[in-house]
Structure 1
Amino acid sequence: MSCYRPSLMTALLLPLLACATGAAQAREVAAPADHVQADGPYVFREGTQLQARWICADKVESRTLAAGAAGTDIAPRCGYEHTVHVAAPDAASVSVLPATPRIVALSDIHGQYGLLVRLLRAHQVIDAQDRWALGKDTLVIAGDVFDRGPQVTEAFWLLYGLQQQAAAAGGAVHFVLGNHETMVLYDDLRYVNPKYLRSAQLLGRSYPQLYGADSVIGQWLRTRPVLLKIGDTLFLHGGISPEAVQLALEPARTNAAYQASLGLPKAEVKADPATAPLYDGKTSPIWYRGYFDGRLDTAGVQAVLDRLQLKRIVVGHTSMPHVSSFHGDRVIAIDSSIKNGENGELLFIEDGRLSRGLLDGSRVPLAPGEPGLQD
């Protein structure tokens, strides 16, 4: 079970200091793998050029391309099997959007790219070529692509490409940052798959530097939100505590502060009253678990919803056996344990109606969840 002491280090950056004698300290960084068969591409911006690098049979391969004004296509080599279209750097993402008739949501992919593809294909979110097939509808991913599984790179490129394809079709893909994105960017590598530590060795960068501000995916991550409001539904990774309601009352300001803080020295982030609550285990929207551990009852949840003028809050972070309803549909938990690589589900919100999308492509009603905590 996670430690809840309200420490900046514990909550987000390097959760070793405040919980040094607790469970957070027990896990150590793995040794790098001996061999990486295929990984990449890792794409970096260098002036007017793009530098693409792959790991093929434990050897580095590179290609330099011009960064075209209309974007640049990078053909597959090793790792991700599809052509990557690198667009111009993203502007900061939106924080508040009007209601849309259909939203599909999931979270906590944790490197399980194969399972992600199966699930999205089963519900016609993507087609057999893994291209956007949801038309003008919306897909939300509530954080945590990094860590644990062996295909983090592929999962990021799939989502990056789907965002472009959805926009061209009049739909939308929104990726909301999770705690594992921030952990990796701040060099907490305790959950990184050994494959990626070997890739970093071969490429001559630390693993966080593979997602630095000069990398295509790193820049994209630094423009993603931590809070996304669509109509009367708030999407985020962890949750909003009663003490942190003000953060959600001003989502654009909160998102901008969080994005600007990534990569700043830890002491500076902790000292700034605008960013300290974002990194505090009791208040951080990417770490909070109070909807499920008894800290907040249904009346407390409703009070948060009333303050924010919401109907529901949709969160990942706390693993469940299936997409689950808590507090009378006021909180929907969408971390369906995809990280285990065995099963996963989608949440469908269609004109206010809620349902679960199963791995076999079927749809079933949303079921009440049972309280429980997992990493």
Structure 2
Amino acid sequence: MRRFNFMYAVTMGLLTLGSNLFVNAQTKVHFSEKRLKTDTSKAGYDGPYIFYTETEAVVKQILEKDNKAYVKVETFKNSIAGRKLKCYVDDKDHFTFKVQELLQNQPSVYPMPEKLIAISDIEGRFHEFKQFLINNKVMDKNYKWTFGKGHLVTVGDFFDRGLLVSQTLWLIYSLEEQAEKVGGKVHFVLGNHDLMNMKNDFRYTRKKYLEDAKLMGEEYYNLYKPNTELGRWLATKNILEKIGDYIFIHAGISKEVSDLNLGVEGINKFARGYYFSNVEEKAGVDPMRAIVYMRGKSPMWYRGYGKESIDKNEFAAIAKNMGAKKFVIGHTLHESVTYLMDKQVIDLDVLHAQGTTQGLLIENGQEYMVDINGQKSAIKERAKEVDDD
């Protein structure tokens, strides 16, 4: 019960960050009717989703029988921490994960390990992510961590577009727990699409998830709130992390954010207080919040690095202010993993949906591109940018 009561207190604290958070959640929800009208996806394997009250945990997941989706519900009166649950990918594939004993805010700064693999913008494409991890020896075919003391860094945007978002999140959640036991580390850096789903902006959410939520008797906007295990887990994550001399961030640091002089830890601490509140809630907005979450300028949205539109002197000043020699980003789509800004930026956002799944390997101080087959090669410089809808 210790974790249960602690996390309940955390939940209540988060709920008071803004007045009537769940009321606001219900009245400020954004969908794209245009996208939904052309979306042919339907209910299917999803979850599990763990919902907490003060006294119990309710686990709901979508399974299938004879190609028809149905909901399975289990209720636990005692703490669920430490319990093993199954996550189904399809009728032939599933993995088991353990509900973590303790969720706490992640550090912002780490020393550089001997080996590190980073990838971004998977957006619910579980199968590509799975094969990438297996072939690059991060895990084995049984979903067991095999990367030793190495670090896996995911650089944002694991929500939306794809059809296996929850499975991808639970895989990262599971690997995180496994890695800690052997001195390794999994980093989950939040991107704009991750935060959009936490803030009720569902313009890229697939119809499947709305149908799944309806089957579970829930509204989609309740699936990742602070009274859920995934919501609580996401709340512990950062929007940027410094590992060695590298800053891993979904989009980049704009001059406006750099000029706040908050540093890596300060930006994370400030941003975390608004993870579950709508950007559109303008009443009484803190001027600092308006900058950290400014569309086009925030660490989750800024494209100055990905498009190389920032002045080089301005970029150098930002890097010095942030104490970084290089930035590793996603967000701006290119044909391959690429160097930008005179090799001081490495962009990982590639065409996963079209069969190009790549990431970054840093091993013994050397940087490589690694692909879905585990092959490593030199990183291209200024690969062609691709339009992203």
For residues 4-23 of structure 1, what are the alpha-carbon distances to aligned partners after superposition, in whole Å with 9 as ceiling and x for unaligned? xxxxxxxxx99xxxxxxxxx
Equivalent residue for 2:84, pick from 41, 48, 73: 73
In the TM superposition, residue 209 of structure 1 has moved relative to its aligned partner by: 0.7
Cα distance in structure 2, aligned partners of 1:218 and 1:253 = 22
Number of the residue aligned with 1:319 = 333
Letter in 1 for 2:74: R
Equivalent residue for 1:30, pick from 21, 36, 39: 36
C-alpha change, 1:114 and 1:78, in structure 2 (3 Å) is closer
In the TM superposition, residue 25 of structure 1 has moved relative to its aligned partner by: 10
C-alpha change, 1:103 and 1:362, in structure 2 (3 Å) is same
For residues 257-309 of structure 1, what are the alpha-carbon distances to aligned partners after superposition, in whole Å with 9 as ceiling and x for unaligned? 21111223543587112311121124200000012334214443223222222
For residues 146-181 of structure 1, what are the alpha-carbon distances to aligned partners after superposition, in whole Å with 9 as ceiling and x for unaligned? 000111011000000011001011000000000001
Counterparts of 1:118-129 in structure 2, within 5 Å, are: 118-129=131-142
C-alpha change, 1:67 and 1:87, in structure 2 (3 Å) is farther
1:199 and 2:209 aligned:
no
Let me know the Cα RMSD of the aligned residues: 2.6
TM-score by length of 2: 0.84
- Aligned residue-pair number: 354
Identity level (%): 31
Counterparts of 1:281-300 in structure 2, within 5 Å, are: 281-300=295-314
Number of the residue aligned with 2:351 = 337
Cα distance in structure 1, aligned partners of 2:137 and 2:253 = 32
Does structure 1 retain, via aligned residues, the 8 Å contact 2:119–2:358?
A: yes
Q: Secondary structure at the match of 2:248?
A: strand
C-alpha change, 1:25 and 1:136, in structure 2 (3 Å) is closer
Cα distance in structure 1, aligned partners of 2:124 and 2:359 = 17
Cα distance in structure 2, aligned partners of 1:199 and 1:74 = 19
Counterparts of 1:251-330 in structure 2, within 5 Å, are: 251-264=264-277, 266-267=280-281, 271-330=285-344
Q: Secondary structure at the match of 1:253?
A: helix
Does structure 2 retain, via aligned residues, the 8 Å contact 1:348–1:355?
A: yes
Cα distance in structure 1, aligned partners of 2:41 and 2:80 = 40
Runs of 4+ in 1 over 6 A off after TM superposition: 24-27
Cα distance in structure 2, aligned partners of 1:43 and 1:25 = 24
Number of the residue aligned with 1:47 = 54
Does structure 1 retain, via aligned residues, the 8 Å contact 2:340–2:381?
A: yes
Counterparts of 1:64-213 in structure 2, within 5 Å, are: 64-65=75-76, 67-68=78-79, 71-76=82-87, 81-213=94-226
1:250 and 2:263 aligned:
yes
Structure 2 runs not aligned, ≥5 long: 1-23
Counterparts of 1:231-246 in structure 2, within 5 Å, are: 231-246=244-259
In the TM superposition, residue 63 of structure 1 has moved relative to its aligned partner by: 1.1
1:359 and 2:384 aligned:
no
Does structure 2 retain, via aligned residues, the 8 Å contact 1:44–1:52?
A: yes
Cα distance in structure 2, aligned partners of 1:38 and 1:66 = 25
Does structure 2 retain, via aligned residues, the 8 Å contact 1:292–1:373?
A: no
Letter in 2 for 1:207: Y
Does structure 1 retain, via aligned residues, the 8 Å contact 2:81–2:99?
A: no
In the TM superposition, residue 247 of structure 1 has moved relative to its aligned partner by: 5.2
Cα distance in structure 2, aligned partners of 1:226 and 1:62 = 33
Does structure 1 retain, via aligned residues, the 8 Å contact 2:246–2:324?
A: yes
Cα distance in structure 2, aligned partners of 1:26 and 1:66 = 38
Does structure 2 retain, via aligned residues, the 8 Å contact 1:227–1:248?
A: no
Residue range with higher mean Cα deviation, 364-373 or 206-215: 364-373
Cα distance in structure 1, aligned partners of 2:73 and 2:180 = 30
Letter in 2 for 1:28: K
Letter in 1 for 2:133: L
C-alpha change, 1:50 and 1:306, in structure 2 (3 Å) is same
